[in-house]
Amino acid sequence: YLLNIRPAGDWPAQYFYYAGGVPRVMEEIKDMLHLDVMTVTGKTLGENLEDLKKTGYYEHCDEILRSKSQAIHREIKRTDIIRDFDHAIGTNGSIAILKGNLAPEGSVIKHTACPPAMFNSRLNARPFDSEEEAIDAILHGKVRPGDAVFIRYEGPRGSGMPEMFYTGEAICSDPVLAASVALITDGRFSGASRGPVIGHVSPEAAAGGPIALVEEGDLIELNLEQRSLNIVGVKGQEKTPEEMETILAERRKHWKGFESKYTKGILKLFAQHAVSAMKGAYMD
């Protein structure tokens, strides 16, 4: 993990280019690349990288970085933005797959953008059946520190799996919530997401996944070290795994199922035949 770029890092995206961009990263990981592979330039990857050195590409980037340093009266080193290989920011990647009774097939978190204080936490479930409902609750102060905001029925079959970007930004706009509230969804996130956001929860709610069975006040346990995401209690009271299994089975009996809003065309077919997000969200 070499890049100190927002949202997980310190520098705006354009500074990636000022520091040398993709070619500089490729130089750092050169030993891992197939330098003899042919590219669309008619030259190999290795030849392309050598040409950049000969044409002054890195000197051009260094000059931009110097001008930016002068503008803020502080030296900005290339390694402030793109670390060298031997001094990486981290060696355990930037995302993790979490599993448990809440996400039997898995879910995804970008842990490099998650506050370390949230790596191991117990949270109070606040389920919403659409992103609009969740945003409204956040903006009107109905979400408190220590809550786990759930947005469900936004998976592949539910609504086509849109990005839940705005809810995450609504949480992160409040420093107190940003450091204490998780966002958990069967929808998805882009690379711009920040904070403790967990997406791709599978199976999704529309397919009857456990996320559809979450109720207000359930205790949610997030444990990044163990790569787990579980429902561990009801109405604030902790339960054993066996007790939770029985409770979820009982809730499933009363689950009313899901009826798609798409009644014709390709979206109807997708809602009927999409596989889970963790399997690729393709139409089977």
Place of tokens 């953008």: 113
Of 174, 175, 182, which is closest to residue 121 (Cα–Cα)?
182
Q: Vertex 208, ends 185 and 228: CA angle to 5°?
A: 50
Q: What are the extents of the domains in the chain?
A: 14-87, 96-279
Catalytic residues: 190
CB neighbours of residue 224 within 10 Å = 18
> Does residue 44 contact residue 26 with C-beta atoms inside 8 Å?
no
Instruction: Kindly report the CATH number that applies to the domain delimited by 96-279.
Output: 3.50.30.80
Q: Can you give the pLDDT of all 284 residues of the chain as single tens digits? A: 899 998 778 999 999 999 999 999 999 999 999 999 999 999 999 999 999 999 999 999 999 999 999 999 999 999 999 999 999 988 888 889 999 999 999 999 988 888 888 999 999 999 999 999 999 999 999 999 999 999 999 999 999 998 898 898 889 888 899 889 999 999 998 877 777 899 999 999 999 999 999 999 999 999 999 999 999 999 989 999 999 999 999 999 999 999 999 999 999 999 999 999 999 999 99
Residues 6+ apart with CB under 8 A from 132: none
Q: What is the pLDDT of residue 206?
A: 96
Tokens standing for 216? 């207000």
